[in-house]
Structure 1
């Protein structure tokens, strides 16, 4: 098997799409040219109505994800993932709704990138790293495990802890991000996150999750927050009220990628660590397309091997050096790397 396919299928644990059934209505159902209810981005989706009773139809209106479309649809600006087609059929003074689910996948397989190690720095081997982010040249870290979770600012070159607070024992800390001089930190299963003052680490508010039941990773583009919940979905949150306004579904040309974990916004793309796979997906935030993958699995062999050693987690971009920093759960090293695009 080619390396490209191996990384795409094995490292990122893609969930292949299964055939979905159309919802059968009393008189009509939707038919498409999608093979096994799956069609690629930039292909043309052809819609029609099966009318076995030969009822005289007065009008048909099609929608995909709430957007009105023609019966012939070029899928160029649609989000990837599971989408619902709705047909509103008017006949003989009556109206009937037919629906059908399809999956829109990417039209290209992910590129495979490699990396080179630029520097290696010390990292607290006891830290169960969940979130990592640079801000004004300083590194901020969120760690997990009940009774061990904390939020801290670190001198990344020496490993010295510059500021630290511990979370209450009932919370399992997850990802963090910094926007408008506020730190946003997630927790795993409690259904809530915390907002802190950047300078003092004093908690200013608590927010509840919406449809995303769990907290995994979080990043921002300078305006919006992006939150992962351990599935293929990344949720867009309004930083003013922390409401989940929308989401994207992360897909390759084969299917969805689950277990999206720690997130980092880098030059207009979302870098997502895939939990337990020691790999990172580079995602288009507009439609959820996985554009590239990076296999960081060799790094785990470069750290101290011990009983508590766990998987890669923690990715941060330093704009001052234009390099990426990665580490893992209970790793004794923080790696500064440069991505090599093949």
Structure 2
């Protein structure tokens, strides 16, 4: 019995050793583990489990672009500052004895934790309960507002103190109005799924031109940074457009420390950052437009509760008085417009 036991143990040991050798011989990524989340700015080690036979060379790539070529088995480092946020595909091509083998991994590069803010209501103003707010901006003492819904979409000038509509034009009933922004003496306004935006004279509200969408097929929010229009389409992307032609110039994907931030809606450019409503959430995110990092979020839960409906009554409207440093927010069919102060938590 003891001899059989010893023989059995020997067999198991041999099988285990063979399995280990087989495992050791298989090309694979030891680091990083596939799906790892890493902070922007981290140096990520790329380390392989190489075949026992040795190698002639290895080529490391990120998103299909060569990172480094090596003729040894030493680990290499990936500087995440050289790459944007989001999924980064990693690969290593190993050449040995005239043969090529390839192995893959991936990481998610994310920004640092965003700052969290609550709010304090400073002032409250009346708001038209028939205004399905899509775009909002404040300039020269006047609120400019675009509203949505087919057959009801309008572009308006509104008195802040009273909520009275001073001047308005209706869009053709085939258009669903969306976000708008001021461009000096012009106004640019988006439509939802009609693949077209409009230019208007700021004073008369007369239409002066149109522009077509490109990669961004829907119109949601729109703002202006003094150089380019910035457009959202309900995804986690911001699109930068020429303010004269409306042509798309480039885009940036938006991420926070948890991943992609989808459903970006109404936008406002404030002191170098893009403030964005997140559709169907009582949250405004503060985005660095250069790299897409969410640097802050304002939680507005509980600010407006009067006869709130589950749908079509969402927070959607951000305006900023640059001269008075006042931040205004409202929503679709809300009876009030709020001036708020951000309170860091």
Task: Assess same fold via TM > 0.5.
Answer: yes
Say yes or no: does 1:170 pair with 2:169.
Answer: no
Shift in Å, 1:294 = 1.1
Over 3 Å counting, the alpha-carbon distance change for 1:227 and 1:86 in structure 2 is farther
Q: Distance in 1 between matches of 2:106 and 2:198?
A: 36
Shift in Å, 1:286 = 1.8
| Cα offsets for 1:228-268 (capped at 9, x unmatched) | 11111111222233222222222121211211111111111
Q: Distance in 1 between matches of 2:323 and 2:218?
A: 33
Shift in Å, 1:102 = 3.7
Classify the secondary structure of the residue corresponding to 2:304.
helix
The answer to whether the 8 A contact 2:35-2:105 is kept is: no
| Cα offsets for 1:308-329 (capped at 9, x unmatched) | 8611110111112211101110
Shift in Å, 1:55 = 9.0
Shift in Å, 1:96 = 10
Classify the secondary structure of the residue corresponding to 1:185.
strand
Q: Distance in 2 between matches of 1:242 and 1:65?
A: 32
Name the Cα RMSD after superposition. 3.1
Q: Mean alpha-carbon deviation: is it higher for 167-176 or for 247-256? A: 247-256
Structure 2 match to 1:134: 138
Q: Distance in 2 between matches of 1:176 and 1:315?
A: 11
| Cα offsets for 1:187-245 (capped at 9, x unmatched) | 11112211222222222222121111211111121112211111111112222332222
Say yes or no: does 1:80 pair with 2:85.
Answer: yes
Q: Distance in 2 between matches of 1:53 and 1:202?
A: 75
Structure 2 match to 1:319: 322
| Cα offsets for 1:55-106 (capped at 9, x unmatched) | 965673745586x645522223532123455778899999999876542112
Shift in Å, 1:49 = 7.0
Over 3 Å counting, the alpha-carbon distance change for 1:211 and 1:253 in structure 2 is same
Say yes or no: does 1:39 pair with 2:38.
Answer: yes
Classify the secondary structure of the residue corresponding to 2:109.
strand
The answer to whether the 8 A contact 2:219-2:233 is kept is: yes
Q: Distance in 1 between matches of 2:101 and 2:141?
A: 59
Structure 2 match to 1:6: none
The answer to whether the 8 A contact 2:176-2:193 is kept is: yes
Q: Mean alpha-carbon deviation: is it higher for 177-186 or for 73-82? A: 73-82
Structure 2 match to 1:336: 339
Structure 1 match to 2:313: 310
Q: Distance in 1 between matches of 2:187 and 2:98?
A: 57
Over 3 Å counting, the alpha-carbon distance change for 1:273 and 1:306 in structure 2 is closer
The answer to whether the 8 A contact 1:63-1:87 is kept is: no
TM-score (norm 2): 0.79
| Cα offsets for 1:157-190 (capped at 9, x unmatched) | 1112122111111111111111232211111111
Residue number among 190, 193, 202 corresponding to 1:189 in the alignment: 193
Q: Distance in 2 between matches of 1:203 and 1:330?
A: 26
TM-score (norm 1): 0.80
Q: Mean alpha-carbon deviation: is it higher for 56-65 or for 287-296? A: 56-65
Q: Distance in 2 between matches of 1:221 and 1:99?
A: 40
**What is the count of residue pairs matched by the alignment?**
313
Classify the secondary structure of the residue corresponding to 1:297.
coil
Give the unaligned 5+ runs of structure 1. 1-27
Give the unaligned 5+ runs of structure 2. 1-26, 69-75
Structure 2 match to 1:112: 116
Q: Distance in 2 between matches of 1:124 and 1:278?
A: 20
Structure 1 match to 2:10: none
Structure with bigger gyration radius:
2
Structure 1 match to 2:14: none
Q: Distance in 2 between matches of 1:152 and 1:199?
A: 11
The answer to whether the 8 A contact 1:300-1:311 is kept is: no
